[in-house]
Structure 1
């Protein structure tokens, strides 16, 4: 029998919380937030917590919340379907140009990123006129979106088609990486953009209204839930599934654009279908666990069934990992989705300078300015410690290091 690799926290009113956090810091506010969630009466068996755990809105990031009979929209969050995609190419480091600014510029040109808040003008992070590939992808999504909007018209006027195939802001990124064999990879991180945000916020509010309607008192208003079999639950389940499909398609389109950027800069023919992974880390799905069908919400966690591939990125300038799941049942077959923040974005901007950013991202072609200090590597937990804490959840297949990083 393997040595247990997790700790348990629990209070008298909640289910156990199994924490894969040995050797990594967990602050007290995160523990208190987890204990509140564990008190909900529909949690199935226990909660699992990944080593990148930190305080979140709605639910703790790095938590795996299995439920029966109800779902918490704020635990899924508003970046529905946020996740990662990585593809290994047949190119090697020697095929890359000596200076990588041109490649970063081409990635930035082909993939809308960031956001501009200017009234009446186009947001630079969206399309003015979506290209044909985007319109073809939207054609696969639009019928179900119209069904959602027929019942919930407020969702109609959202950034949907014009943000499909775009990156966004914050910790979303597109990177060119090298593995241990100097093979070139493209890796990216994004979700369901403005339309997913709108769907998330809308149903979070509906869940809160349901709690008021039925006089249900909660340990935290963000734990408002929808009961299976009710109209709001069914509508949310349909909408959240659609947003997760949007997010996956969003990543696929950006990956195609990133490959086109490589082809513009590197004129040698290459194969980009050698290996690809596309996985969510903010989502909900129905799964079988311990002989029962359960709804599993992963808030900043990746599914890691036996043999299933996943992606665990480090921060800018740190290592990232392509992993293979070990199918650990006690974690509900899950692993971390990254390194996890130590400092909030506000705190990181107070603590660190552009000079710190330049030192910590040495060797990476990326923005090095005040607007991205909140993404500095020191704002995150050490990725090596995070990987050590979950060695019974996944095995490392490839270790990647970034050489180009595009941030929103």
Structure 2
């Protein structure tokens, strides 16, 4: 399936792997396409929807500039998945596992009561004292390491089409990434104002020169948050594996974690030029690279192999993508219907009240269509069907 549509009305083309692009996301993509430092084109993955400044599901490459809002506030948010040696797990054992996981891993806004081991924290190439936000938040981050967070973050136990039981976590850099993102976005706004930037402030795309002191500081802090998000997922999966062994025995073995981030910026080469690729709700998909595309609650997730398509800046979607805002979903979706949808599939789920409908399957695009729209970006390796779900 090639690019669904190419929009050529702006300074740079917009290449979209979806046809049903909402008006707000299209407007944001047009703003990106008119930035003076955009390289080649704007790429929109098949899960694209409205974000803050830049649509979620968007990929851009820039020359010499970095945009904090094109990374987002949950820096380093991504997926971790582990294949187990299990081929079966009973409903009773699943329920035991989920109850124990809830005891070990704080959910939502909850943190650990004690700081976690500093040896699990990321290493920085520069002293933390040179990274003001990181150094200020370091102590708090020790209490957040190995916690899920809220929103669309989740823990799932899944049955794979490969015959194995899988463990999956979706989480990010917690409050650390949020603080870093806001600090540097405010700094970018201030500097752009002082430099009389021609980029309108209402586009919410304030930028930093990558090789300036502020730009270098952001890139170092951003990478620390990406590494912290990885450490966060790694610790959660370690505790989930401990839980599985407690319930099902020490003979259970686990493959190495597959880890991917989908909110970050990185120096890469595309179309023969060194550029800064911003992926906001998008997954890198180099040729042969293994990635994870999760579905919504109650729908399959996919383990994929990248095809290295240059048109998408070697990227693919990061999930199904929302089709309803959170409040809209709570207003419009039917609680009983959404629960029945999950119960009919035998899924131990997290839909309890109307307030949970913002994360119901009905709030998201159809993952099968999202996958079909990007078969020129990835090939599917394993389909993972949810057995039990914990939401933040």
Band of TM-score, shorter chain = over 0.9
Residue 97 of structure 1 and its aligned partner are, at CA, apart by 4.6
1:382 lines up with 2:382 in the alignment: no
> 1:111 is matched with which residue?
105
Alignment of 1:35-54 (within 5 A): 35-54=30-49
Alignment of 1:41-120 (within 5 A): 41-93=36-88, 95-98=89-92, 100-115=94-109
Between the aligned partners of 1:246 and 1:142, the Cα distance in structure 2 is 14
Between the aligned partners of 1:103 and 1:153, the Cα distance in structure 2 is 34
1:224 lines up with 2:224 in the alignment: no
Q: Could you say what secondary structure the match of 1:224 adopts? A: coil
Alignment of 1:390-401 (within 5 A): 390-401=374-385
Spell out, residue by residue over 1:189-236, the C-alpha distance to the aligned partner (whole angstroms, 9 max, x if none).
001111111000000000000111112242334111001322111111
Between the aligned partners of 2:363 and 2:113, the Cα distance in structure 1 is 34
What's the TM-score, normalizing by structure 1? 0.91
**Gap change, CA 1:241 and 1:49, over 3 Å in 2:** same
C-alpha contact 2:134 2:176 (8 A) present in aligned 1: no
> 2:118 is matched with which residue?
135
Spell out, residue by residue over 1:160-187, the C-alpha distance to the aligned partner (whole angstroms, 9 max, x if none).
1110111100000111000114310001
> 1:290 is matched with which residue?
271
1:250 lines up with 2:247 in the alignment: no
Q: Could you say what secondary structure the match of 2:131 adopts? A: helix
Alignment of 1:359-370 (within 5 A): 359-362=340-343, 363-370=346-353
Q: Could you say what secondary structure the match of 1:279 adopts? A: strand
Two-structure CA RMSD over aligned residues (Å):
1.9
234, 249, 269: which is aligned to 1:267?
249
- Give aligned pairs, total: 388
Can you give the 5+ residue segments of structure 1 that lack an aligned partner in the other structure? 116-124
> 1:172 is matched with which residue?
153
Between the aligned partners of 1:106 and 1:375, the Cα distance in structure 2 is 22
What's the TM-score, normalizing by structure 2? 0.94
> 2:7 is matched with which residue?
9
Q: Return 209-218 or 373-382, whichever deviates more.
A: 209-218
**Gap change, CA 1:262 and 1:142, over 3 Å in 2:** farther
C-alpha contact 1:286 1:293 (8 A) present in aligned 2: yes
Between the aligned partners of 1:137 and 1:164, the Cα distance in structure 2 is 8
Between the aligned partners of 1:157 and 1:300, the Cα distance in structure 2 is 25
Residue 384 of structure 1 and its aligned partner are, at CA, apart by 0.5
**Gap change, CA 1:144 and 1:337, over 3 Å in 2:** farther
C-alpha contact 1:158 1:194 (8 A) present in aligned 2: no
Between the aligned partners of 2:44 and 2:323, the Cα distance in structure 1 is 16
Between the aligned partners of 2:211 and 2:389, the Cα distance in structure 1 is 44
